[in-house]
């Protein structure tokens, strides 16, 4: 959708731009030296960024999920539902085994987080969201020349995506299951596939599948 990015889309392993998150990761490096404990890179299909038509945007790595394993949505509950759904609709192939070397491959799809570092209590603050957007999320979106659709998981990831696209949040509000035209891309907001949302019934597996069914239909139109 855009010209190739001029800025790097991947943060350095010791990115210092958000001191609170940098310090939090340093704590966890001391506590769990075997964990990944760094900004989590975007998960790409083997064909590379030119093959990407769909981008999935989460909020931030989970402490014992992506922050532990180094691959988005890998190792905690949210990944079970996400990867099961992606395989079901042909956006991924292989068996998801909650490990970064499980061999699962994305098909025409990339997965990233609006904030690349794990935040305490899963809650980044506004300045962290804005900093990571400006430095890494905008270049991440711009690296995909054939991007057509973005699934945004949860309100904060959705709003940061809208801002990264330089559009107004009020014009493209978060509504689960909606289809929002954002000039060159179409946004598909969804409630986050967290254990909390599925346990409380805010998001059922069928509701989540319905979002990706809509994306599949859109991309084959
Ligand atoms: S959240 Fe993003 S900008 Fe902030 S320290 Fe991590 S990688 Fe850097």
Over 60: is that where the pLDDT of 2 sits? no
Q: Pinpoint the alpha helices (H) of the chain.
A: 19-31, 66-69, 77-88, 126-132, 138-142, 155-164, 195-199, 205-219
Q: DSSP assignment of 137-170, as one string?
A: IHHHHHT-TT--EEEEESHHHHHHHHHHTT--GG
Whether the per-residue pLDDT at 136 is higher than 70: the answer is: yes
Distance (Å) from CA 135 to ligand 1 centroid? 8
Name every protein residue with a CB atom under 6 angstroms from any ligand 1 atom: 11, 15, 17-18, 21-22, 39, 115-117, 128, 131-132, 135-136
Across the chain, mean pLDDT equals 96
Q: Angle at CA 71, nearest 5°, toward 67 and 82? A: 105
Q: Is the separation of the CB atoms in 181 and 162 below 8 Å?
A: no
User: Which residue of 8, 9, 21 sits with most ligand 1 atoms within 8 Å of its CB, as the best mutation to test the pocket?
Assistant: 21
Q: Does pLDDT of 4 surpass 70? A: no
6 band by pLDDT with thresholds 50, 70 and 90: low
CB 99 within 8 A of CB 75: yes
Specify if 177 maps to a domain: yes
In testing the pocket of ligand 1, which one of 13, 125, 131 has its CB within 8 Å of the most ligand atoms?
A: 131
Asked whether residue 121 is domain-assigned, the answer is: yes
- Which pTM does this prediction carry? 0.96
The residue whose CB lies within 8 Å of the most ligand 1 atoms, and thus the one to mutate among 10, 18, 40, 42, is 18
Q: How far apart are CA 9 and CA 183, in angstroms?
A: 22
Query: Would residue 28 count as lying in a domain?
Result: yes
Instruction: Report the candidate in 141, 143, 161 with the shortest Cα–Cα distance to residue 152.
Output: 161
Q: Which domain holds residue 69?
A: 19-220
In a domain, 11, yes or no: no
| Burial readout 47-84 (b: 16 or more C-beta within 10 A, e: otherwise) | eebebbbbbbbbbbbbbebbbbbbbbbbbbbbbbbbbe
Distances 172 to 18, 108, 148, 160, 175 between C-alpha atoms, Å: 28, 25, 16, 11, 9
9 lies in a domain? no
The helices-and-strands tally (H runs, E runs) of the chain is 8, 7
CATH assignment of the domain containing 160: 3.40.470.10
Per-residue pLDDT tens digits for 143-160: 999 999 999 999 999 999
Distance 67 CA to ligand 1 centre (A): 13
What's the 207 CA to ligand 1 centre distance in angstroms?
32
Structural domain includes residue 106: yes
User: Taking a C-beta distance cutoff of 8 angstroms, is the pair 124, 60 a contact?
Assistant: yes
* Percent of the chain's residues with pLDDT above 70: 97
Residue 5 has pLDDT above 50, yes or no: no
CA distance 152 to 15: 24
Considering its fold, how many domains does the chain have in total? 1
Q: How far apart are CA 63 and CA 200, in angstroms?
A: 21
Output the CA 133–ligand 1 centroid distance in Å: 9
pLDDT at 3 over 90: no
Does residue 3 lie in a domain region?
Answer: no
Residue 54 pLDDT > 50: yes
Residue 118 resides in a domain: yes
Amino acid 7: pLDDT: 80
């Amino acid at each position: 959708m855009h010209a190739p990015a001029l800025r790097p889309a991947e943060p350095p392993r010791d990115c210092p731009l958000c001191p609170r998150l940098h310090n939090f990761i340093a704590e966890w490096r001391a506590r769990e030296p075997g964990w990944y404990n760094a900004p989590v890179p975007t998960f790409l299909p083997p064909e590379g960024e030119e093959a990407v038509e769909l981008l999935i945007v989460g909020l931030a790595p989970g402490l014992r999920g992506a922050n532990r394993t180094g691959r988005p949505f890998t190792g905690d509950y949210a990944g079970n539902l996400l990867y099961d759904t992606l395989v079901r609709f042909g956006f991924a192939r292989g068996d998801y085994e909650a490990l970064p070397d499980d061999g699962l491959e994305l098909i025409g799809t990339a997965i990233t987080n609006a904030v690349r570092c794990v935040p305490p209590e899963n809650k980044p603050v506004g300045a962290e969201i804005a900093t990571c957007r400006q430095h890494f999320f905008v270049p991440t979106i711009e690296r995909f020349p054939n991007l057509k659709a973005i699934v945004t998981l949860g309100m904060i990831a959705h709003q940061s995506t809208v801002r990264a696209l330089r559009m107004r949040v009020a014009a493209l509000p978060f509504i689960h299951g909606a289809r929002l035209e954002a000039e060159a891309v179409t946004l598909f907001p969804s409630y986050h596939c967290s254990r909390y949302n599925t346990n409380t019934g805010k998001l059922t597996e069928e509701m989540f599948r319905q979002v990706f069914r809509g994306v599949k239909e859109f991309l084959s139109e």
